[in-house]
Amino acid sequence: MGFLTKPRQKRVWYQALGALAINAWLPNWLSGQIFQGKIKGVCVPVLNCYSCPSALGACPIGSIQTFFGGLRFNLSVAEKKFGLYVIGLLGVVGSIIGRMPCGWLCPFGLLQELMHKIPTPKLRVPRFFSSFRYVFLAVLVVALPLLIVDTMGFGQTWFCKWVCPAGTLEAGVPLVLLNEGLRGLVGFMYFWKIGLLVLFLGWMAVSKRPFCRAVCPLGAILGLFNKGSLFRMAVDDEKCTLCDACHKDCPVDIKIYESANSPDCVRCLKCVSSCEYGAISYDFLGKHETAADRRVSGEA
Amino acid sequence: MKRKLPWVLLTIFLALMVAGLLLGEYKMVLEKAVTVCLDCIGIG
């Protein structure tokens, strides 16, 4: 089982196990139904559609849009539902580990890393694209659900409806294939979302985790906590030779020696292993580890 | 020096989460999550 202890392969196993654990109700892939147990109110800290047939938990981005979309109606009937549960849960995860779930658990992150292994010409995502995910968060997740409402006062889940390729892949494709009733309802929106999914899949093949970096509103939220979380990355300037090995290995193409706790970092810890000089380390509740420590403990 | 910010953030967000649970928001998330989201699948 030596292959499990190699960090590069080991994280893939965590990601695969995370995807499976979050989507463990596998019999629904045959029936075309979705899981409806009482635990499904628990939001998972990754982008995983709750309409995926096997999803055991709720998508925090879909849930928060539902709260914002229903806020004006709820206020009009004196119903106190503000989305504090979802905001609080994301804040708790963020204040402990920041964006680490993106690097270790997110099924859509795993898909992007696997797609990038396809041998194609590779393209860098321009750095300013990282700002776009805040636009998606502010406009499609917060503003439009709050501001554009129907006659009853309900807003829509704009990000889910117009953009989310995770929902299309994990729920749209299987549910429409497995349900004749849903197949009859397919129209423009479905083909719009399929088209976007195809575009994203192509982009994943040529660029490193483009959705996480330029679009994902959940990554935008969790990334804001990277600088203030209990888990911290650190770069020792005296040991760092600027060899760029960490940058070449980084799945989100960042230079950690420029900003150790950048909001773009998904904390996969590849850089800790790839640094030959032990310059990159992490600290969590007093536990401090560098590449040298990982080698000693048999993880590299 | 011990950093206080993460603990302050953790306390605030834990309080928000508990407040949301006490307001019955879990049930609202559950109700949405157990219904097929037509917007998500591109049919809404």
At A300 the pLDDT is: 37
Confidence of residue A3 (pLDDT cuts 50, 70, 90): very low
At A288 the pLDDT is: 76
Query: Tell me: the pLDDT tens digits for B20-36?
Result: 999 999 999 999 999 99
Q: Over chain A, what is the mean pLDDT? A: 93
Predicted confidence (pLDDT) at residue A179 exceeds the cutoff of 50: yes
Q: Of the residues A179, A205, A223, which one is the last residue of a structural domain? A: A223
Does B30 contact A58 at a Cβ distance shorter than 8 Å?
A: yes
How many structural domains comprise chain B? 1
Q: Do residue A168 and residue A40 come from a single domain?
A: yes
Q: Do residue A140 and residue A202 come from a single domain?
A: yes
Alpha helices in chain A (DSSP H): 7-22, 28-31, 60-76, 84-97, 101-104, 107-115, 132-135, 144-147, 158-162, 165-167, 173-178, 180-183, 188-206, 210-214, 217-223, 245-249, 270-274, 291-296
Radius of gyration of chain B (CA): 17
Q: Do residue A23 and residue A166 come from a single domain?
A: yes
Does B29 contact A85 at a Cβ distance shorter than 8 Å?
A: yes
Q: Do residue A180 and residue A267 come from a single domain?
A: no
Write the residue in B17, B29, B36 that is nearest to A63 by C-beta.
Answer: B29
Sign of the dihedral through C-alpha A130, A145, A87, A160: negative
Q: How many CB atoms are located within 10 Å of the residue A31 CB?
A: 10
Please give the residue range of the domain that contains residue A263: 231-296
Q: Which of A150-154, A263-267, A289-293 has the highest mean pLDDT?
A: A263-267
Q: Of the residues A168, A195, A223, which one is the last residue of a structural domain? A: A223
At A294 the pLDDT is: 55
Q: Of the residues A162, A195, A223, which one is the last residue of a structural domain? A: A223
As a whole number of angstroms, the distance between CA A197 and CA A208 comes to: 16
Q: Do residue A61 and residue A175 come from a single domain?
A: yes
The pTM of the full predicted model, rounded to 2 decimals, is 0.93
Write the residue in A41, A49, A225 that is nearest to B27 by C-beta.
Answer: A41
Q: Say yes or no: B1 contacts chain A, CB-CB below 8 A.
A: no
As a whole number of angstroms, the distance between CA A80 and CA A299 comes to: 49
At A66 the pLDDT is: 96
Q: What is the value of ipTM here, to two decimals?
A: 0.96
At A9 the pLDDT is: 61
For residue B18, list chain A residues with Cβ-Cβ distance below 8 A.
88
As a whole number of angstroms, the distance between CA A172 and CA A177 comes to: 8
Residues 81 through 140 of chain A touching chain B, CB cutoff 8 Å:
81-92, 94-96
Residues 57 through 76 of chain A touching chain B, CB cutoff 8 Å:
57-59, 62-63, 66-67, 70
Confidence of residue A2 (pLDDT cuts 50, 70, 90): very low
Q: Say yes or no: A222 contacts chain B, CB-CB below 8 A.
A: no
As a whole number of angstroms, the distance between CA B43 and CA A271 comes to: 42
Residue of A nearest to B16 (CA): A88
Write the residue in B6, B20, B43 that is nearest to A185 by C-beta.
Answer: B43
Q: Do residue A112 and residue A143 come from a single domain?
A: yes
* Sequential DSSP letters for A250-268: -TT---TTT-TT-TT----
Please give the residue range of the domain that contains residue B32: 5-41
Does A190 contact B27 at a Cβ distance shorter than 8 Å?
A: no
The residue among A40, A63, A85 with the most chain B CBs within 10 A of its CB, best to mutate, is A85
Joined together, the tokens standing for residue A262 give 């950048």
As a whole number of angstroms, the distance between CA A286 and CA A168 comes to: 42
Confidence of residue A195 (pLDDT cuts 50, 70, 90): very high
At A291 the pLDDT is: 61
Q: Say yes or no: A183 contacts chain B, CB-CB below 8 A.
A: no
Q: Do residue A141 and residue A241 come from a single domain?
A: no
At A286 the pLDDT is: 79
Give me the CATH number covering residue A262.
Answer: 3.30.70
